[in-house]
Each structure stands twice: as C-alpha cells, then as structure tokens.
Amino acid sequence: MTTQAIIHWFGPPEFARLDLRNRARALWIVSWPFFIVVAVVLGLAAIVEPETLVRRATTIAAVGGLVAILHVTSRAGRPDLASWILVTGLSVIVTQRAWITGGIHAPVGLFYVVFIVIAGALLGARGAVATALVCLLGALALTLGNTLGWIAPRPGAGSALGGFLFVVLAIAIALLVDVLVRSRAPREGLDADAVHLIVGDLRSPMQVLVSNLEVLRRELDGASVEDAEAALAGAKVLRRMTNSLHDVSRLQTGRMPIRRCITDLSGLAHAVVTTTRGVQPTCDIAVETRGDSLCNCDPALTRRTIENLVCNAMQVTTIDGRIRVVIGGSSDRASIAVTDEGPSIPRAYRAQVFEPYRCDRPQRAAAGESSGLGLAFCRLAVEAQGGSIRVEEGTPRGNVFVVELPR
C-alpha cells in the first residue's frame, strides 16, 4: 500500500448520501483527535510515573484499537453503529480501568461527562441518554465493588458513596448541558421528512395542472395553441424538478429502494435515445455497444440516469451536433459513457456539477434545471448501486460523462 493510499484510508470517509457523509465526518473529527489527546496525556503521565507505564500503555492500545475498529465500521457505511460503539466502548474502558486502579473517583465522572457530550453530538438526545445510562451502570458497579471490598481503594480515597454521588451529579449536569445546547441549536433548512411532505403536497396539484393544460391545448387553435404549449412545457419542467427533488431527498436519506436484476444496458440506452430523439430530431444521437452490456443493477434508476445524461447532453449540443451513448466496461464493471459537444467543463468544476443547489457551478445551458437536480440524481442513483460517475474532457471537444456500475 502506497503512502498516499494509507493517508487516504485514514482520512474521513466519503459517501453519496449527505447525511451519511456528515455523520461519518463528525465521528472522524471526534474519534481520532480524542485518541491523540489520550495518547499524549497518558504518555506524559507514564513519563512522570514510570511505574504506571504498562497500565497506561494498555489503555492507549485499547482506545487506539477501538478507534481503528470504528474507522473501519464507518468506512463500511455504518457511522451510526460506529458512534454507538465509540461512546459505549469508551465508557466500558474507563469503568474497567477504574476497577483495576481503585474504584470510583472524580476523574471517572469527568470522563463520563465527556462521553455523554460526544454521544449527544454524534447521536442526538437518544445517544446522550443511552450513554448516561451506561455510565450510571458503570458507577454503580464501581461503588458496589468498593463497598463490598472487591476493589482495593486508592490511598487517601474518600467514601464510595461520596464518589458515586459526585459521578451522578456530573452525569446529570452533562445531560442538562446537552438539552440546553440542543434547544438553542438553530435549524438550517428543511429536514428530509419536511421535504417529503412538501413535495407530496406539490405533486398532486402539479399533475392536475399538467392535465388541464393538455386538455386546454387540444381545444384551442391559432396563436393560443403556442401559448398553451409554452405553459404546458413550463408546467412539465416544474413537475420534473419536483419529482427530482423528491428522489434526490430519498436517495440522500437512504429511503429509495434499490431493486437489482440482470439488465441489458444497451437496451435501456436504445429505449432512451428512441424516446428523446423526437425532442431534437436533427441531432446525431446514437448508441454504441462495445462488449458485454449485461449488468446487475436497478433498471429504473439506471434508465433515469441515462435519460438525465442524454437530456443534459442535448441541452448543450447544437441542433445538428453529435451525441454518443457508449456501453462497455470490463469483466467486473459495466460502463455507460455519454459524450456531448458542449462547452468543456473546467477541471476545477467537474466534481461540483453533481452537487445539488450549487450556485457557483459553471452554467452549462440557459435551459434546464438550474438547481442541478438532474446530475445530482445521477450521482446519488449510481453511488447507491455501488458505482461511480465522473466527467472527462471530450475529444476533440465537449465532455464525456462516465458511469461505472458493478456487474
């Protein structure tokens, strides 16, 4: 493994879903710095008290092993599970080390406070309360151990009951702080549930509007027909954007079901081209198949991905331009490459074209969805199936949108 690969492995995981990516980054920001602080503090303490070297080195190794396991779990797409393991694992480690070193005492309570705060930040109120219960059980175990003589008390230690009351008070304060911080935290934007409700309310009247405009267009004649067609086209754009917003939100939150089956990508591409060719009849658009076109994927999501990429290419290609959909790949990955003859996307902006709601993306065309939901849907739909999407520079001009899916 190269040095760059090692550095990349230790970096924060990247996921298509925004909520998953944010939780993984939050865990990464908390866990690794915490391990570094523990290693530095206990290392310095071992230098001051050499007789404690073995004990403190064991603690450092335990925390380091735990953080490494959490990182692997988070990279596997389970940052929530890793966060639960972090807060409960650290609580258990501190309780176990306190059992060996003299039972309940003030530093135990301080560690418990830190773990409850971390749980609140990573997992919300439920995580803070659950971690507080784990810490309380640990404090009870240590208190019983001191009271029943199972633990040799530290020299000069006070009463076990006094230590227990201190820890309980510290846990209560930590929960109170978590509640206060949470109650004052500003809400930015709409959560996923709000998006689903709003879009659900919009879809029905949008469909009614489109249906009524289609009826009106059939009943009109002359110049009024053009006005009705323009209104109908605008309504259909709004309906498509509404559906895209709904689907992007479902993909970001993992609520879009993935239904895989053996699918002929060439057949999907031909169906898409046949449907969309009528929009721009003079455009030279064709499908090329190079090798095996079968892939174990979700046919509905994959077809919509191809549709979005072809429509995107048609928006930026002149009416007599050339668009190609090339199906190919290797033995383990299928590829879909859509080429256009539009303005080349600068290298610095190629990743941004797949981000929704970005205002600083280079404008590809005056028409189309300015929110960028079409390409955002493509990225999310592809990555939800374990694939990837990227933009390359075309030859001699234009761009190539490349989708790769596992076979």
Whole-number Å distance between alpha carbons of 179 and 95: 25
Q: Is the confidence at residue 205, as pLDDT, over 70?
A: no
Residue 210 and residue 110 share a domain? no
Residue 156 and residue 80 share a domain? yes
Q: How many helices (H) and strands (E) does the chain have?
A: 11, 7
DSSP bridge partners of 286: 324
DSSP label at residue 16 = S
CA-only gyration radius of the chain, Å: 29
Residue 270 and residue 402 share a domain? yes
Q: Considering the entire predicted model, what is its pTM?
A: 0.49
Residue 256: its pLDDT value, please? Answer: 78
- Higher confidence at residue 63 or residue 183? 63
The tens digit of pLDDT for each residue in 267-312 reads: 999 998 888 776 667 778 889 998 888 999 999 899 989 988 888 8
Angle, helices 106-147/18-48, rounded to nearest 10 degrees: 80
- Higher confidence at residue 347 or residue 2? 347
Q: Contact, 143 vs 164, CB < 8 A? A: yes
Once rounded to an integer, what is the mean pLDDT over residues 69-83? 88
Residue 394 and residue 311 share a domain? yes
Once rounded to an integer, what is the mean pLDDT over residues 240-262? 77
Residue 324 and residue 282 share a domain? yes
Whole-number Å distance between alpha carbons of 363 and 349: 10
Residue 376 and residue 248 share a domain? no
Q: Is the confidence at residue 186, as pLDDT, over 60?
A: no
Structure tokens at 372: 């960028």
> Which of 131-140, 144-153, 367-376 has the highest mean predicted lDDT (pLDDT)?
131-140
Q: Contact, 358 vs 370, CB < 8 A? A: no
Residue 316 and residue 230 share a domain? no
Residue 360: its pLDDT value, please? Answer: 46
Residue 204: its pLDDT value, please? Answer: 65
Last residue of a domain, one of 200, 233, 252: 252
Once rounded to an integer, what is the mean pLDDT over residues 95-122? 83
CATH of the domain at 320: 3.30.565.10
Percentage above 70 pLDDT, the chain: 79
- What's the domain range around 123? 3-184
Last residue of a domain, one of 134, 149, 184: 184
Structure tokens at 177: 């702080």
Residue 286 and residue 209 share a domain? no
The tens digit of pLDDT for each residue in 314-373 reads: 888 777 788 899 999 888 899 999 998 888 888 877 777 887 655 444 444 434 444 457
Residue 308 and residue 278 share a domain? yes
Strand intervals (E) in 345-407:
388-393, 399-406
Once rounded to an integer, what is the mean pLDDT over residues 231-256? 72
Whole-number Å distance between alpha carbons of 208 and 185: 40
Once rounded to an integer, what is the mean pLDDT over residues 37-57? 86
Residue 327: its pLDDT value, please? Answer: 93
> Which of 3-12, 98-107, 218-227 has the highest mean predicted lDDT (pLDDT)?
98-107
What is the average pLDDT value for the chain, to the nearest integer? 80
Residue 275 and residue 174 share a domain? no
Strand intervals (E) in 298-378:
322-329, 333-340
Percentage above 90 pLDDT, the chain: 10
Last residue of a domain, one of 184, 210, 231: 184
Residue 274 and residue 334 share a domain? yes
| Number of structural domains found in the chain | 3
The tens digit of pLDDT for each residue in 138-148 reads: 889 888 888 88
Residue 405: its pLDDT value, please? Answer: 92
Say whether 226 sits in a helix, a strand or coil.
helix
Residue 147 and residue 227 share a domain? no
